[in-house]
Amino acid sequence: MEPSVLLLLAFLMGFLLLLVRGHPKAHGHLPPGPRPLPLLGNLLQMDRRGLLNSFMRLRDKYGDVFTVHLGPRPVVMLYGTEAIREALVDQAEAFSGRGTIAVVKSVFKDYGMIFANGERWKALRRFSLATMRDFGMGKRSVEERIQEEARCLVEELRKYQGAPLDPTFLLQCITANIICAIVFGERFDYKDRQFLRLLDLFYQSFSLFSSFSSQVFELFSGFLKYFPGPHKQMSKILQEILDYIGHSVEKHKATLDPSNPRDFIDTYLLRMEKEKSNPHTEFHHQNLMISVLSLFLAGTETSSTTLRYGFLLMLKYPHVAEKVQKEIDQVVGSHRLPALNNRTNMPYTEAVIHEIQRFSDLIPIGVPHKVTKDTLFRGYLLPKDTEVYPILSSALHDPQYFAQPDTFNPDHFLDANGALKKNEALMPFSIGKRICLGEGIARNELFLFFTTILQNFSVSSSVDPKDIDLSPKESGFGRVPPTYQICFLAR
């Protein structure tokens, strides 16, 4: 359905319900914000360019902490590095709850490590971190897996012999294969039909996630859920991914060797077996399915989209790409694969990757949190379960921490001697107890993929750098860069 039709429908339904039910009750002492209409909330303050733009304008009026009614429900917005830190780090436990994202709610419910809360979340998070660290990758380290994938990619790129291509697909392949290695214990060939289908589903789900219609749905899911819309499409996509995961789990069960767990699924199945007499165990089938789905959804489009923005930035700023290549040549040379321990000697490359993550601003309004108990914050009282959005974009563009917040400039992370400079406001993975569970893996991927590609290829485009438009194609819960063509020229 057209977004405008959705909006109109939302309006009509809202007014009808309004006539029947009257005003909702206020509770607690929430931060200030625009006066909500009953049920429609702050719809009138919403900007057609999406949630982030709507919030930006309100911040000018109400300051760093304010309340917006997304439809009928109040959500507390945190703007700027200070406010986000004060909440997510200084009151880490209180702000560690997970809110909902309406468009995926019917599939995830409260299973899996992204959307679970309380003891379930703690158990799954602990298990996942340990598994990815210790066993998940079989006999080989994460580093070796990524290096192998990088080698396959370079081989594939050579086949193009410098002809232009849209890099979306291949960048998806490599990041998806890392998650496949963790979860299924195997990587797929870039021509494998089932793999291609999965990639297409991941791409569709991230686009839908980032779309305008999903943001409208977020506001009025209470009644829009009864109509066709992005949530129905999303459920269909996710169900197909779940079917695939289900088949794989069955295959794992049939070939499970308790003394030799091959991957995440094996490790989980063994845990399930161990706890099968515990009626309260969190290690059951439903949590396995949704946890694996969570890893794919959180771990493939995120890294690949960041890389895709990164190479677009290299086309826009060729002198930056050249400086990175110079550093690669000096530290790694041309006959050895870049390795993680080379990072410490490559401050410029590190600064460029930080700046790519800052500029691409992948999850601009953060992933919704909620408070786990009644919480005092900056003189306000947020009742238990109040939703909180840490607006990561506002930290990544914080003028108190970055000299030119809206400009791509690796100097943001370099001191006068060219050494890497840490910056508290760089939080693309969020901060606090809910910080991205894949941060380490993602950072390793970004470094190894980025350097291995630039070690072997120069990048160019038929579009003049000054005509390259960096503005995103979609910006909602995620930000999607514009589609572009790039040539990889063997060095």
Question: Which stretches of the chain bind ligand HEM, using CB under 6 A?
Answer: 98, 113-114, 125, 294-295, 298-299, 302-303, 306, 362-363, 366-367, 390, 428-430, 434-438, 441-442
Give CA separation, 215 vs 115, 141, 356, in Å. 18, 39, 25
In this complex, which beta carbon is closest to ligand NAG, that of residue 214 or of residue 452? 452
How many C-beta atoms surround the C-beta of residue 209 within 10 A? 21
- Please, what is the minimum distance in Å from the beta carbon of residue 363 to ligand HEM? 4
- Please, what is the minimum distance in Å from the beta carbon of residue 324 to ligand HEM? 18
Q: Which of residues 255, 259, 278, 341 is near ligand NAG by CB under 6 A?
A: 341
342 binds ligand NAG (CB under 6 A): yes
339 binds ligand NAG (CB under 6 A): yes
Stretch that binds ligand NAG, among 97-105, 257-265, 335-343, 395-403 (CB under 6 A): 335-343
Specify whether the CB–CB gap between 10 and 43 falls below 8 A: yes
Residue that has been written with the tokens 């161990």 in this structure: 274
Binding partner at 429 among ligand HEM, ligand NAG, none, C-beta below 5 to 8 Å by kind = ligand HEM
In this complex, which beta carbon is closest to ligand HEM, that of residue 125 or of residue 225? 125
Binding partner at 151 among ligand NAG, ligand HEM, none, C-beta below 5 to 8 Å by kind = ligand NAG
Binding partner at 456 among ligand HEM, ligand NAG, none, C-beta below 5 to 8 Å by kind = ligand NAG
Pairing of strands 97-98, 73-78: unpaired
- Residue whose C-beta lies closest to ligand HEM: 438
Composition of the chain by helix, strand, coil, percent to 5? 55, 10, 35
Stretch 344-363 residues interacting with ligand NAG (CB under 6 A):
345
In this complex, which beta carbon is closest to ligand NAG, that of residue 376 or of residue 419? 419
What one-letter code names the amino acid at 313? L
Residue that has been written with the tokens 């930056």 in this structure: 320
Q: Which of residues 25, 139, 193, 335 is near ligand NAG by CB under 6 A?
A: 335
Give CA separation, 128 vs 53, 121, 233, in Å. 35, 10, 29
54 binds ligand NAG (CB under 6 A): no
Return the axis-axis angle of helices 264-274 and 230-255, rounded to nearest 10°.
70
φ/ψ of 342, rounded to 5, equals -80, -15
- Tell me, by CB under 6 A, how many residues bind ligand NAG: 13
331 binds ligand NAG (CB under 6 A): yes
489 binds ligand NAG (CB under 6 A): no
* Per-residue mark of binding to ligand NAG, 425-464 (x: CB under 6 A): ---------------------------x--xx--------
In this complex, which beta carbon is closest to ligand HEM, that of residue 36 or of residue 428? 428
Specify whether the CB–CB gap between 89 and 195 falls below 8 A: no
**Residue from 479, 477, 10 nearest 229 by CA:** 10
Q: Which of residues 101, 154, 201, 234 is near ligand NAG by CB under 6 A?
A: 154
Q: What residues have CB less than 8 Å from 488, skipping those under 6 apart?
A: 157, 160, 162, 165, 453, 457, 458, 459
DSSP 289-310: HHHHHHHHHHHTHHHHHHHHHH
- d(CA 129, CA 122) in angstroms, rounded, equals 11
Residue 314 has, within 13 A of its CA and on its CB side, a CA count of 26
Binding partner at 271 among ligand HEM, ligand NAG, none, C-beta below 5 to 8 Å by kind = none
Residue that has been written with the tokens 């703690």 in this structure: 122
Binding residues (CB under 6 A) for ligand NAG: these are 151, 154, 331-332, 334-335, 339, 341-342, 345, 452, 455-456
